[in-house]
Amino acid sequence: MSKNLIIVESPAKSKTIEKYLGKDFQVLASYGHLRDLIPKEGAVDPDNDFAMKYQVQERNQRHVQAITKALKGADTLYLATDPDREGEAISWHLLEMLKAKKLLKNKNVHRVVFHEITKKAVTHAIENPGEIATTLVDAQQARRALDYLVGFNLSPLLWKKIRRGLSAGRVQSPALRMIVERELEIEAFKTREYWSITAKLAHEKQAFKAKLTHYNGEKLSQFSIENDDQAQATQQALVAAADGKLVVAKLEKKQRKRNPAAPFITSTLQQEAARKLGFTTKRTMMVAQQLYEGMDIGGGEAAGLITYMRTDSVNLADEALENIRQLISEKYGADQVPKAPRTFKTKSKNAQEAHEAIRPTLAQQIPADLKKHLTSDQFKLYDLIWKRTIACQMIHATINTVSVDLVCGSDKNLFRATGSVIAKPGFMAVYLEGKDDNKEGDDKETFLPPMAEGDAIPLDSIVTNQHFTEPPPRYGEASLVKSLEEHGIGRPSTYASIISTLQNREYVTLETKRFHPTDVGRIVNKFLTEHFTKYVDYDFTANLEDELDAVSRGEKDWIPLMRDFWTPFTKLIHDKEESVQRKDVTQEAIDEKCPECGKPLSIRLGRNGRFIGCTDYPTCSYTRNLNDDGTESTAPEIIEDTKCPKCDSDLVM
């Protein structure tokens, strides 16, 4: 029997670690959380300081038995779960269970933490053990209790007021609000026409274009030219004034530097993987977990390829920096390494200095060399992480820009041409940060021919261009994660589950990589924003996250925080249970009369989405599809307050 027992979360992680340690160590996996709140009312007791009732999850019974059996023959227990709030909670739960079984007598118990699964990191952690951070456990308990209390009290209210099977969550509901509000913005958007005017110039070295910026002495704004007639009149006047040429009035050259982006944290990895690889947040975190936990990379050697993937810190360890700088010098040249390592400022006040950014465990493990040992997804994500990490420690890029103002007839009419050339690519030779919604970056080169003030450039033509303003784009995974982070809603480690929950509940659908709210999602959001305004408010949600972070730092006690939340919340639940009528939630008045009885029509929610129906139902049974022009009555008729005796769904005529 091994004298030392080490507990980690996953079997993949246990296999990697077991290869680093001798036969005196046995490594077992807990397979995630061993126990959770009992799945019924009373799991959290607000009247007893929010005492929580747990049970071992059925699927984990055999893992508990395996750990219990192994511990009997061991002298020392090492709790080596992940270095974050969830990992701390898993270790604490296991410890509490073992204490209850009286299995810790004469046993040494240690908490060990490492941020990468390498032999050096694991050995160092075991040689320098610590204790469970109870403040992290308190923060996790508070989060779990809050989520339970919101879900277990608000969801049944949605069942009564809208339909069965719905749910609301502390963090998912503000995220839903974000998606619905964007959709309403798009629907309310009024397209506006505007025109621009471009000169095409036939320079002997290279043709180029210039855009009209001033006309008749006035600087043009976006809507200065609003219609075709105005555009044509302006174009004709300019052609006449130009007399076949534009004259260079001013030429301005500048050189600017562009610095690399910081190494990845959880949220930026999720955003970039969505933009560049088309990965969902869930897929990104799953693949990152595999890279972190380790795999065979040849010669029977298992290795964790990246550091821990749940982090808010952009720090890089001194040893890692040395390693990265050495690789840059060898692979790209000594002139590509800045004099001193680059440092980046961590935005999150909750990020721990001991934590690092997401980086390769060894810079010398070049993606191309590992490709044959990795799956396609693993290679793509590792390649992304490796390039971002290397680039962040390279020299800046140098970009030469030139702006040319050209006179058309008189200095009251000005065209401007701009060009940019990457003089020294620096880090851009390795990695460029992605952008949302196809906004053009300054990495796109546009060349202009050599010119001097006073030069007359032959004019090829002056053309008019029609444009229309566009509504804001719907959220994709990358832009939603970015917005959640900017608003302080949730934490990066929870974004994947937030998005999955919204999709699983059919509150949103993902079409062409953009989120669209469903009819049910709209109704749920309307109910929550009208009746639980505070609890879907972005600032309230963010402040609560900050308070939970303060608990994890030991600056705040979790029980008073729970009381402050629960007292007004439970009162509001009871008030709304009595005061809100189902028809007020599921029906929306419209300015139209029923063609059959003359009573007002309303938009109503049925099993297959929203439809238009008569408010005098059941006396009048007129219905039609929401998008019909009123000539057909094809939508299903929902029988109010009556459910199917077999499946409890709405009954339709």
What tens digit of pLDDT does each residue of 289-328 get? 999 998 888 777 778 999 999 999 999 999 999 999 999 9
Q: What is the CATH number of the domain that holds 541?
A: 1.10.460.10
Tell me how far apart the alpha carbons of residues 161 and 361 are, in angstroms, rounded to a whole number: 52
Tokens encoding 324: 């990265």
Residue from 20, 31, 215, 308 carrying the catalytic annotation: 308
Distance of CA 157 to the CA centre of its chain: 29
Q: Are residues 32 and 121 in the same domain?
A: yes
Q: Are residues 307 and 425 in the same domain?
A: no
> What percent of the chain lies above the pLDDT cut of 70?
93
Q: Which domain holds residue 455?
A: 193-256+403-468
What tens digit of pLDDT does each residue of 445-457 get? 788 999 999 999 9
Which H, E and C letters describe 290-331, residue by residue? Answer: HHHHCEECCCCCEECCECCCCCCCCCCCHHHHHHHHHHHHHH
What tens digit of pLDDT does each residue of 220-233 get? 999 999 999 999 99
Please, what's the largest Cα pairwise distance for the chain?
Answer: 98
Q: What is the pLDDT of residue 635?
A: 47
pTM: 0.85
Domain assignment present for 502: yes
The torsion angles phi and psi of 411, rounded to 5 degrees, stand at -70, 5
Domain boundary among 106, 132, 158: 132
What tens digit of pLDDT does each residue of 398-426 get? 999 999 999 999 999 999 999 998 999 99
What is the rounded average pLDDT of the residues 49-67?
Answer: 93
Q: Are residues 174 and 202 in the same domain?
A: no
Q: Are residues 384 and 278 in the same domain?
A: yes
DSSP per-residue codes, 539-584: HHHHHHHHHHHHHHTTSS-HHHHHHHHHHHHHHHHHHHHHH--HHH
Q: How many domains does the chain have?
A: 5
Domain assignment present for 397: no
Q: Are residues 458 and 533 in the same domain?
A: no
Q: What is the pLDDT of residue 653?
A: 54
Closest CA to 131 of 84, 78, 72, 82: 78
Domain assignment present for 491: yes
Is a pLDDT exceeding 90 seen at residue 361?
A: yes
Domain assignment present for 71: yes
Domain boundary among 539, 563, 580: 580
> What percent of the chain lies above the pLDDT cut of 90?
76
Tell me how far apart the alpha carbons of residues 18 and 526 are, in angstroms, rounded to a whole number: 53
Domain assignment present for 261: no
Domain boundary among 453, 468, 483: 468
Q: What is the CATH number of the domain that holds 100?
A: 3.40.50.140
Q: Are residues 486 and 598 in the same domain?
A: no
What is the rounded average pLDDT of the residues 119-130?
Answer: 94
Q: Are residues 13 and 118 in the same domain?
A: yes
Tokens encoding 94: 């296991």
Q: Are residues 274 and 360 in the same domain?
A: yes
Residue 458's CB is within 10 A of a number of other CB atoms, namely 12
Q: Are residues 70 and 95 in the same domain?
A: yes
Domain assignment present for 138: no
Q: Are residues 216 and 271 in the same domain?
A: no
Domain assignment present for 15: yes
Banded pLDDT at 643 (limits 50, 70, 90): low
Is a pLDDT exceeding 90 seen at residue 97?
A: yes
**308 flagged as catalytic:** yes
Q: Would you say 82 and 285 are in contact if contact means Cβ atoms under 8 Å apart?
A: no
Q: Are residues 574 and 520 in the same domain?
A: yes
Q: Are residues 224 and 286 in the same domain?
A: no
Lowest-pLDDT choice from 77-91, 302-316, 514-528, 587-601: 587-601
pLDDT averaged over the chain? 91
> Quick one: angle between helices 134-161 and 538-552, nearest 10?
150
